[in-house]
Structure 1
């Protein structure tokens, strides 16, 4: 089997795992409070990523890598896997899973704006037009296709804030050079430590049932640690641009899983809004300024 074929298989498996997050997040917040979900999920993710470092013999480099850029790992971890995770899970408490998935997938478009603001990266007129097109999709999604129906609810604000913080995380790691496996472990570790500091304000559910534990174990290990490992393996075998186009399947498959397992009704405005947003991301990936999805960024 050719390397490119293997890479495509790894990418597709990773995307399938990423696409289950919307369904499992919604299931988890219907059974537990959102804060407890993020802490359990973060704990399992940190453990799984550390075990992978032990498996590959790279755990001994964690301290040296952290000492090289301590402030970077702490702040980026808090932003991308602390604040963002909490905003994400809270979004699922306020909105249907399908709407959260579509809104949070605006982060690649926000990356273009943030790269311009933070790093003064040049944005072509085409890329600016594609970003505006993408946010037209957001407007259609939120308004239901009607000017009178537009409502910036708390759930919408949480979802867009989640997309913004994750876009900032991706932009920050895009220009940094670090060991990817160790970096992801450190990001998750400091994101978890940040969440633990919030425990006096949120409280925590210590006793959970076996079903809840299995759901949280799945979220923390499979769509995060395992999917990350598969995706980076794919990036070693294929071009980043090729893999990034695979990632466009994530929100589509997410809606399929949400429909099948949560029985949520997908309305026309959601389909139209999602199609415009994904189309804008695709156009930027292939015809605008280079921009990667989160999966692509984690592989750099």
Structure 2
């Protein structure tokens, strides 16, 4: 079940990337992130309020970790993605986004001293080669022309935030149920984003033109890549661990390709098929490794 949930999570995120890019001229990035999370909070509030009352003592007891996880994920990750997509190209953003599993493995190995098998590293490399094959359209030499700009930096920051969040999920309060944990992170993240969204709208943003597409985009962002994806991701990381779950990020270019083909009638070429086969092969190799990860104690 964890594999299905993580796959759906990446599918929802791929849709979020497509819509986020299409909306960057209509709505400013921080305001878009804030509206997304405020609507998500509104939708879950009837179920969340009783949980907050029931778990008030536990929430106050663990507020430092809850706040940290909320800032890393809700407040920062997608906000920096939206910021990056207003400047950088889709190719650059995809390359940097696909680095998440590698960053997770590096943090796990270097900071938490977690054992990562050679088979897992091989799986990462094979998946990454598939990602590069898709991005470069079969012309790996085109990477020599890769340049970094301010948008790339924003996306890279987002990558680090999400990798940290995924690794630190192991330290989330075990006695707080998953839905309450998610709701608290949305609440804290929305509050943290609010002053920045107000400042951005007041000083930098152009007036929003509300129409059916704008409303439907915000609704999609609030329900699928926000509520469902975060619940699915947290459950997947809890069952498989951050390192293995992170491999599913490599599915992002595949889903982007499928969505583009379906909605934009773009053609599928041989390098698309080859790239997807490499990605799936790498994920399979890393997930079904027989080497177990060493249990790590929480740093003091």
Q: Do the structures match in fold with TM over 0.5?
A: yes
Q: CA contact under 8 A between 2:95 and 2:132: conserved in structure 1?
A: no
Change (3 A) 1:290 1:91: farther
Counterpart in 2 of 1:85?
Answer: 78
Counterpart in 1 of 2:148?
Answer: 152
Matched, 1:27 2:22: yes
Counterpart in 2 of 1:298?
Answer: none
Deviation at 1:182, TM superposition (A): 1.0
Matched, 1:37 2:38: no
Q: CA separation in 2, counterparts of 1:263 and 1:158? A: 30
TM-score, normalised relative to structure 1: 0.73
Deviation at 1:217, TM superposition (A): 2.0
Q: CA separation in 2, counterparts of 1:198 and 1:284? A: 40
Change (3 A) 1:13 1:281: closer
Counterpart in 1 of 2:255?
Answer: 253
Counterpart in 1 of 2:181?
Answer: 183
Deviation string 1:2-48 (CA, Å, 9 cap, x unpaired) is xx7xx988777666544422222222223211121111111112222
Q: CA contact under 8 A between 2:16 and 2:225: conserved in structure 1?
A: yes
Matched, 1:162 2:164: no
Q: How does 1:204-283 map to 2 (within 5 A)?
A: 207-211=208-212, 212-228=214-230, 231=232, 251-261=253-263, 276=278, 279-283=281-285
Q: CA contact under 8 A between 2:98 and 2:128: conserved in structure 1?
A: no
Deviates more, 1:200-209 or 1:109-118: 200-209
Deviation at 1:181, TM superposition (A): 0.7
Counterpart in 1 of 2:109?
Answer: 116
Deviates more, 1:201-210 or 1:250-259: 201-210
Q: CA contact under 8 A between 2:70 and 2:185: conserved in structure 1?
A: yes
Deviation at 1:157, TM superposition (A): 3.2
Partner of 1:94, secondary structure, is coil
Q: Over the residues paired in the alignment, what is the CA RMSD in angstroms? A: 4.0
Partner of 1:89, secondary structure, is helix
Deviation at 1:92, TM superposition (A): 2.1
Q: CA contact under 8 A between 1:106 and 1:277: conserved in structure 2?
A: no
Deviation string 1:57-87 (CA, Å, 9 cap, x unpaired) is 5343342332121111111111111121211
Q: CA contact under 8 A between 1:42 and 1:188: conserved in structure 2?
A: yes
Partner of 1:20, secondary structure, is helix
Change (3 A) 1:287 1:33: same
Q: CA separation in 1, counterparts of 2:126 and 2:8? A: 30
Runs of 5+ unmatched residues, structure 1: 292-300
Change (3 A) 1:16 1:277: closer
- Equivalences, count: 279
Q: CA contact under 8 A between 2:120 and 2:287: conserved in structure 1?
A: no
Q: CA contact under 8 A between 1:77 and 1:187: conserved in structure 2?
A: yes
Counterpart in 2 of 1:65?
Answer: 58
Match for 1:172 among 162, 168, 171?
168
Deviation at 1:89, TM superposition (A): 1.0
Q: CA contact under 8 A between 2:101 and 2:124: conserved in structure 1?
A: no
Q: CA separation in 1, counterparts of 2:68 and 2:129? A: 32
Q: CA separation in 1, counterparts of 2:265 and 2:149? A: 23
Counterpart in 2 of 1:107?
Answer: 100
Deviation at 1:111, TM superposition (A): 1.2
Q: CA separation in 2, counterparts of 1:210 and 1:96? A: 26
Q: CA contact under 8 A between 2:34 and 2:197: conserved in structure 1?
A: no
Deviation at 1:282, TM superposition (A): 3.7
